[in-house]
A = this chain, B = another copy of it.
Amino acid sequence: MVSIPLLLMGCGGVGRQLLHHVISCRPLHSQQGVRLRVVGVCDSKSMVAIPDVLTSEFRDDFLLQLCKIKSNGSSLLDLDNIGECEVYSGEEIGRKVIDVAAALRDSSGLALVDCSASSETIGLLSQVVNLEGCVVLANKKPLTSSLENYDKLVSQPRRIRHESTVGAGLPVISTINRMLSSGDPIIRIIGSLSGTLGYVMSEVESGRPFSQVVSAAKTLGFTEPDPRDDLSGMDVARKALILARLLGHRLELDSIKVESLYPLEMGPGKMSLEDFLAKGLPSLDEDIQKRIKNASSNGNVLHYVCLIEESRCEVGLQEVAKDSALGRLKGSDNVLEIYSRCYSKQPLVIQGAGAGNDTTAAGVLADILDVQDLFRHSTSGA
């Protein structure tokens, strides 16, 4: 039996779903000879940890109660039987995480799982890798920080997994890593990596005005509370940067060419959300309609894509061939076309749901199982 001590950062939808998956997969993982042992959980303010991280773990009923409390928006400190575990807050959290990783270094190592949306976890993640632990990320921020930080984080490539940072659980990162390790050079990646923008563009393509589609998508909960967070393209840019760096491009986030679907003067600092929805958005309809017509007259469709090719790394509206996998995309699916030596005429295509807590958490869990061989040598004591 391989025992993987797991410390989770982030109790949002993905983190909680991950705990549910871990619990419901216990019989399956037991069959596979793996035991996931949750030894600590943090939210943005507090951390609870089991006192003896070497041999003990949280009980499943405690984890379920934790999920319940967090989904109600309460603090970890509101847990009933918190007396059983140690509680940390503020700067103590980071110190404790490192203590746990150091304590586990000589036995099994720690799996630190980042399901937060924080840009401040990167130091901890790098330190855990240095302490021979593994890190698994759904959080894009650490991978899209400065190159200097990035290099530290990926200094031991076998000890980091981050499938769910691009396309949720879709096998994007794992596939690219497979291609790279087999010496199949990737020439071009083009894809639609935002379910929201994919949905918006395919609805606009079918004739509805941009402003109506965005407003309706907001009402349906398909966009962020302020849809400009989607329309800015910055989330797609982070995904593009993660892919580009994986391919070896030495890029920073601000060196990516990003097309925002609204002009600067309608930005969150300059225009209220109400004004943007009521006046800003409708003023954009005509231009987008024109570009769609233009694409159509070229036999193409207009999609919001991420494109990585040679030294180019761009995010924005592009015309794509109608009969390509990308051109045929409808709805909120993500799609990625990868061209390489092996896939030169026709690309390797990966398509499917690229968002959702269930799928994202499943991707994180698959990553955790994927690093199990690095924990194997520690089984003698289990």
Contact = CB atoms under 8 A, between A and B. Distances in A.
Interface of A: 21, 24-25, 28-29, 32, 157-158, 163, 169-171, 174-175, 178-179, 181-184, 325, 328, 331, 333, 341-343, 346-353, 356, 358-359, 362-363, 365-366, 369-374, 376-377
Contact of A362 (B182, B351, B370): B182
A346 B362 contact: no
Contact of A353 (B24, B157, B343, B358): B343
A75 to B, nearest CB: 29
20 contacts: A169-B178, A169-B179, A171-B350, A174-B174, A179-B366, A181-B370, A183-B362, A184-B362, A333-B346, A342-B356, A342-B358, A342-B359, A342-B362, A343-B352, A346-B352, A348-B350, A371-B373, A373-B373, A373-B374, A377-B377
Given A174-B174, A328-B328, A341-B358, A181 B365 contact: yes
Contact of A171 (B24, B175, B181, B331): B175
Contacts of A363: 178, 182
Given A157-B32, A358-B342, A362-B179, A348 B170 contact: yes
A338 to B, nearest CB: 8
Contacts of A353: 342-343, 346, 348
A163 B181 CA distance: 14
A178 B28 contact: no
A348 B341 CA distance: 24
Contacts of A376: 158, 373-374
B331 A346 contact: yes
A351 B349 contact: yes
Nearest to A344: B353
